[in-house]
Amino acid sequence: MSWFVFALVYVFLASIGNILRKVLMRDDRTDIVGSSIIFQWVGTLICAVIAFWHGFHMPPVREYPLNYFLTASLWGFATLALYKAYKYIEASEVTILIALESVVTIITAMSLLHETFTLVNAIGTILIIFAVMYMSQVSGNFKFNKGVLYALVYSLLAGVAIVNDTFNLKHADIFSYMVVGFFLPGFFIFIINPKIITKMKPLFQPVVFAKNAVSTLFITLAANSFYLAIANGGEASQVNTIAQAAVVVTVLFSIVALKERDHLLKKFVCAILVTIGVLLLR
């Protein structure tokens, strides 16, 4: 498949994963740090099954220690920030705010990886960003609080982390890299929060763990699709901008799955704008 198809598969899987993560975060038994670690390590197991099926090859961690430390720390802190954002503000607000990650990725990729970006690509990007900004009106005016701050921190960290991953993928097999890419952030979170082990028992209750595991499955498969798009010729700036279509698709899925049927016209207008923007990025 082409990188563009993999990018669209990411949008579909990530949107379902976002819906399931909303359901998970509504559970009062969910701990932010513990859930982050479980997410990363369940994702590691899923990626390991895929990697060993295709043939696992240890990524060159020793040759690029700084880049793999960045993988661990950037995604570790980003995951914590994302779950904290879900704690303080509505899921729809989080979904909209973290779309700013695409802007960070574009700026970082152009600066460090010298990626090209044509005028047509720029128009597509503007349409998608405009759709995200217009979508923000669905949730009303944002109040700058802890939740907004955490969402913005996630956008900054994740945007840089994606560009770092793009560099690492030039020297590693995609499926093998995903194993390490999921394990290291979970290990990093555990190292800086070792006492969390005493608080994780409620997270292994069947219902709670199942919610986390299923949402992790979709998000992990989405992540694999995302990096397959990059590995198959898509530039980080292009793939990440297309990925922002998941913002609108998530809202549309919410209409059906979560009965969120307010402001339908605005939601459909955004869906059309994002679709046009995606096509301009091909």
Contact of 20 with 211, CB cutoff 8 Å: yes
> Is the model's pLDDT at 210 over the cut of 60?
yes
Quick check: pTM over 0.85? no
Instruction: For residue range 214-266, list pLDDT tens digits in order.
Output: 999 999 999 889 888 988 888 877 787 788 778 778 777 777 776 666 667 77
Please report, for residues 199, 200, 207, the alpha-carbon distance to residue 203 in angstroms, rounded to integers and kept in the order given: 8, 5, 9
Radius of gyration of the chain (CA): 18
pLDDT in the model for residue 273: 79
pLDDT in the model for residue 260: 63
Structure-model confidence comparison of residues 3 and 115, the more confident one: 3
Residue in 69, 104, 74, 88 with CA at minimum distance from that of residue 143? 88
pLDDT in the model for residue 143: 53
Residues 6+ apart with CB under 8 A from 279: 124
pLDDT in the model for residue 256: 76
Residues 6+ apart with CB under 8 A from 121: 237, 238, 241, 280, 281
pLDDT in the model for residue 135: 63
Contact of 83 with 141, CB cutoff 8 Å: no
pLDDT in the model for residue 89: 72
Instruction: For residue range 76-117, list pLDDT tens digits in order.
Output: 999 999 988 877 777 667 777 777 777 777 778 777 777 677
pLDDT in the model for residue 137: 58
Left if phi > 0, otherwise alpha if psi is -120 to 50, otherwise beta: which for 259?
Answer: left
Instruction: For residue range 137-188, list pLDDT tens digits in order.
Output: 555 544 557 877 898 899 899 999 999 998 998 899 989 999 999 999 999 9
